[in-house]
Structure 1
Amino acid sequence: MSDSLTSRTHSPNNKASLTEWLDYMQQIHVSAIDMGLSRVLPVAESLGVVQSAKDDAYVFTVAGTNGKGSTTAAIAQMCQAAGYKTALYQSPHLSVFNERVRINGEMVSDQTLIDAFSKVESARLECALTLSFFEMTTLAALLIFAEADCDVWVLEVGLGGRLDVVNIIDPDMAVITNIGIDHVDWLGDNVEDIGREKAGILREGIPLIYGTTAMPDSVQQAINKHQATCYQFGQDFSYREIDAKTWQYSNAAVTMQLPRPALSLTNTVNALSAVLASSLNVDTHAIEQALQTVKLAGRFDYREVQGRHWLLDVAHNEQGVEFLLAQLLPFWQQHLVEQNKHNRHAHIAPPKIKMLFSMLGDKDINKVVQCLTTAGLPISDWFIAEIDYPRAASTERLQSILAEYVDGAQIHEFDGLQAATQAVINASQPQDLIVVCGSFHTIGEALAALEVA
């Protein structure tokens, strides 16, 4: 077997650490992203994961440009609260790889992952194929779910849908949260092409939850082709906010008054619609319990750390930032009210917003910055640094784009997110709000920095 099919180094064994396995899997394929299922399917069939999912589990597959993480988290929490042994697969992670693979809300152990990686590697070598890092790790997650005999699998698509490795599993329920312009190098530069890719998760006769009011023709064509039953936001289900603690969900069959979750209502509504349209038995009590407990790091994630107010969100494209701003603007107004009430007898400066920001170089940084700088938020300073990741945008590029929209004196450059995180703490006041956004990697590195700051 040639070097192109194996590796110039031997595969790690079960005594190797998780880090050693992850490092190895990033080296054995020529590209980090390699769309298509032809190499993955033989390995998956050798492992038995395709048949296991078909025979033993109810599968939700969630695609979309934004909101997949929150949607999958909410679906999984509802199913778990109803008593189903629930598997959840998400990507990427923020702090540790284990976040991607959960059973009943708990991250699987390092050894569980190592054992699965070893089995996937053996099957890969037997099939004489190379697999990308994402393909290897996704197969390992599916194998873990199969071996744990989970009742429900909730799977987040990594990129697109049709050619994503998650799509080797036939879903019982498909969800498309929304369709925006992102990953243009792989999916296309218009909503019709992107919609066609995302609608690739459909199967004959299964339900589809479609999470926005605007639907590309390509998605409707896929619905017709597969004779799928489509439930669309704004037509077949909707919601309204009642107050800070409650909201109302409605579809043709039910109207429910529910506790407000820590996730966005838009994504929660799509998740609830998927659960209600499924064949699973999830009652109102389980739904209420799930909404009171579900959370997801980095998704409109408010924390008080190091004596500061933090709002962390993984928004990394125009649509994601618009979604963030829709929640952030009212949140900021409430923050002002609370801080003014708290400090009404103190002679202190009004609260300001400090932005801790970095992005990947293959994203539309200009659009994201434009959205953030024209939203009417009182952002007094920007703290920027290059993410520790191969695709990171350089600090110089971030600075250059920002300088088109804000005064150069408001931009502060640092050597790494840890230094930038400490700097924003030092430069802010207890009444200020620090917003962190731009990438999963930005949030992950900021959280890591806060633990040591």
Structure 2
Amino acid sequence: MNVSAALDWLFSTQFFGIKLGLDHTRKLLAAADADRTDATVVHVAGTNGKGSTCAMIEALARAQGYVTGLFTSPHLVEFSERIRVNGRMIPPDALAEEISCLKQLTESWEQSPTFFELALAIALRHFRKSGVNFIILETGLGGRLDATNAVPKDIAVLTPIGLDHQQYLGDTLAQIAAEKAAIIAPGKPTVTAVQHPEAMAVIEQTARDRHSPLTVARMNGETPRPSLPGTHQRENAALALEVMRQLHALPSPSGAAAALSKVQWPGRFERLAAPPLVLDGAHNEHASRVLAATWKEEFPGQKAALVFAASADKHIRDMIPVLREITGEWHLVSCSSPRIMPAEELAALLTELETGPVFIHPTLPEGLHAALSSPLPALAAGSLFLLGDLKALLSHAEKRSTVQ
């Protein structure tokens, strides 16, 4: 089976939906011989900043000479983005081989594994074959019942927690924090970012109950400035540095600064030169506030021509007043995800909230062209699906859409 056919089968498993729970994950990992590892395992959960923090931890680990395995989600354009060894995406031949193996293994099972469970198994098998000795796992959804929580870990990491995915995780900050704090492992250390008091109380109680030494990572004057812009990225850097300190694997100050100065992470205030465009995956209120603050730092006194699309299940009404602070023009577009709110509905909401000029474009290329033709600097934000579509458009690549 070539990689295209293999990916066709893998993506077809999305029809089985999201199954929150660990029993089936453990069954799959055991059957696939992917449930044992001698590597150090770092497990990262949170609402915002997970991907950037994982990338920084990975860079610091590589600076210490580790062979790193990084598992993240979702991908923007290519599935292979999710699985990296020493920064390199899983090669097509290896990906096809792993998918074919798992298809043969599970096709007779009464209950098929989910897309995300299979992705995790592919990653762990590839990491083992590649001699990885330091693994970073980003949760897909929540923490307690996320497939990644089936993997034994050496340290739990909690990035800033906010309201998101309430249909799965709960309606209050405390409920969501409880789901994410459930990655804390008995007797193993935990490092958390500075949190809202409601979330911090839950984290502290969970750590006490599980006898997990808890450290709060705080940015200070000695925290190196990473390549990723924004004050929040220095806070993510402080979190990554504290994780490595707890693992007794922290590079020298100069080595850490050098590693963090080279970190790249797509879709997090990513500045393209041609065309001149900023991409940011701000998809909830907290992320929108971070984006607005970073925009004001990077483009002082300037508003944006914003290419915007957002998933209907997000709290778009809470995002809009924040984004209005930095937006001079709204360019509404459709994208490949069925979860995206129709542009006409979004336009009505924007008009109701008196946001300024709103333009509806029949296609993404037309919306992008209009924003780039504006005298204002161009920004695309609101959904990772939008960013993936834009990247595929600009690179003339085929994109396989996913909701997981």
Shared fold by TM > 0.5?
yes
RMSD across aligned C-alpha pairs, in angstroms? 2.0
* Contact 1:386-1:416 within 8 A present in 2 as well: yes
* Contact 1:82-1:283 within 8 A present in 2 as well: no
Matches within 5 A, 1:96-245: 96-125=78-107, 127-215=109-197, 216=199, 217-233=201-217, 237-240=218-221
2: CA distance, partners of 1:118 / 1:131? 14
1:232 deviation in Å? 1.0
1:30 deviation in Å? 4.5
1: CA distance, partners of 2:79 / 2:204? 36
Paired residue secondary structure (2:77): coil
Long gaps (5+) in structure 1 = 1-13, 241-247, 250-257, 337-350
TM-score, L = length of structure 2 = 0.92
Paired residue secondary structure (2:36): helix
Who is 2:334 aligned against? 386
Letter matched to residue 210 of structure 1: T
Letter matched to residue 370 of structure 2: A
1: CA distance, partners of 2:29 / 2:107? 12
* Contact 2:311-2:341 within 8 A present in 1 as well: yes
1: CA distance, partners of 2:304 / 2:335? 21
1:228 deviation in Å? 0.5
Task: Tell me which of 347, 353, 358 is aligned to 1:411.
Answer: 358
Give runs of ≥4 in structure 1 deviating > 6 Å: none
Who is 2:294 aligned against? 327
Task: Tell me which of 344, 347, 367 is aligned to 2:318.
Answer: 367
* Contact 1:361-1:392 within 8 A present in 2 as well: yes
CA deviations on 1:166-185 (whole Å, 9 max, x unpaired) are 11111111110011110011
1: CA distance, partners of 2:361 / 2:328? 17
Higher relative contact order (CA 8 A, sep 6+): 2
* Contact 2:226-2:257 within 8 A present in 1 as well: no
Whether 2:384 is the aligned partner of 1:437: answer: no
* Contact 1:32-1:134 within 8 A present in 2 as well: no
Long gaps (5+) in structure 2 = 397-404
Paired residue secondary structure (1:102): strand
Alignment length (residue pairs): 392
- Overall identity of the aligned pairs, in %: 29
* Contact 1:25-1:132 within 8 A present in 2 as well: no
Paired residue secondary structure (1:167): helix
2: CA distance, partners of 1:157 / 1:421? 32
Paired residue secondary structure (2:273): strand
* Contact 2:204-2:214 within 8 A present in 1 as well: no
Whether 2:264 is the aligned partner of 1:292: answer: no
TM-score, L = length of structure 1 = 0.82
Instruction: Note closer, same or farther for the CA distance 1:402–1:287 as it changes in structure 2 (3 Å cut).
Output: same
Task: Tell me which of 13, 20, 24 is aligned to 1:39.
Answer: 24
Whether 2:7 is the aligned partner of 1:17: answer: no
* Contact 2:241-2:250 within 8 A present in 1 as well: no
Paired residue secondary structure (1:239): coil
* Contact 2:250-2:256 within 8 A present in 1 as well: no
CA deviations on 1:395-416 (whole Å, 9 max, x unpaired) are 11211211122367x1111123
1:443 deviation in Å? 1.2
Letter matched to residue 238 of structure 1: M
Task: Tell me which of 326, 330, 354 is aligned to 2:305.
Answer: 354
